[in-house]
Each structure stands twice: as C-alpha cells, then as structure tokens.
Amino acid sequence: MADCEICGRDAATQHIIEIEGAQMSVCANCAKGKKVLEKIEPHSEPDKRQRQAKPAAEERELVDDYGTRIRHAREGMGLSLKVVAEKISEKESTLLRVEEEKMRPNDALMKKLEKELGIRLTESIAQASGRMPVSRGEPITLGDAVIRKDGKR
C-alpha cells in the first residue's frame, strides 16, 4: 500500500495517473477526472472475500421424501430390493425400512445409495429452509467504498 502523492492518504487502490506528462501514484479520490494509466488493486482483498463466501461443507440434511426417491430411482433402473441391497452390502429388510421411511439411513448408507442409484438424498439446510447464509464479515471499509470502476482510460 502506498501513500497518495497528492493528498498523502493511504491509497487502498493505487491509481497511476498522468499529469502534464508526469506520472503520479495517487488515491482514487485524487484520480477522479484525471487520465488513469493503471490501477493497482491490493492483492489481499479478493482472497479474503473468497474465503468468506465458501459455504460450510457439512450443512446438508436428509430430504423428507428420501424413501420415495430411492424407490423411484430403483424401480426406474428395474432393480429389485434384493439386488440393490446386495450391491451396497446391506440387508434387504434394512433397505425396505428405508424405502418405507421407517428408518433414516445413516451417512454411509445414504452415500452408497446416492452412488448406486445416481440420486441425491440430501439438500443444503440453507436451501431447504429458504434461509440465506449470513456473512458475518467485516464492515465495509472506506477503502472498499472508494473502489469503483473508472470508465476512462
């Protein structure tokens, strides 16, 4: 980060401008209305935002109609309970209880069924409830607020 050569403040985004043939490194404010040759964005900023935007990996839950989804997928593939149970090394009775939604499959069973039948049995919690993940990031700093697209070149 460099100080603005005109006003002396920290320039979050350095603007290289040309004034009467001389190049100066100034802040966004002082670059206003000038011929901007180059903009130097601080590198740390985009990384920080990316990290914050990444959703938590395990915020998924079993869908309500998991049994129906499994049965439809299985019947669609023309497979019997017995065949699917054998493929995923589970008891036929276990699979039947899951299909009848009398038993919630554990993570391991769920993943095996998803893979075997090519279906999804989970959905993200945020999606299911209509909630949006709230980003509890830092407040917008003055530096961020000043960064804008300068149409001129």
Q: What residues make contact with Zn ion under the rule CB under 5 A?
A: 4, 6-7, 26-27, 30
Nearer to Zn ion, 27 or 113 (CB): 27
- Strands (DSSP E) contained in the chain are 2-3, 10-11, 14-19, 22-26, 35-40, 60-62, 122-124
Nearer to Zn ion, 6 or 79 (CB): 6
CB of 15 to Zn ion, least distance (A): 9
Determine contact, residues 14/25, Cβ cutoff 8 Å. Answer: yes
CB of 51 to Zn ion, least distance (A): 30
Consecutive H or E run containing 107: helix 107-117
Nearer to Zn ion, 6 or 88 (CB): 6
CB of 40 to Zn ion, least distance (A): 14
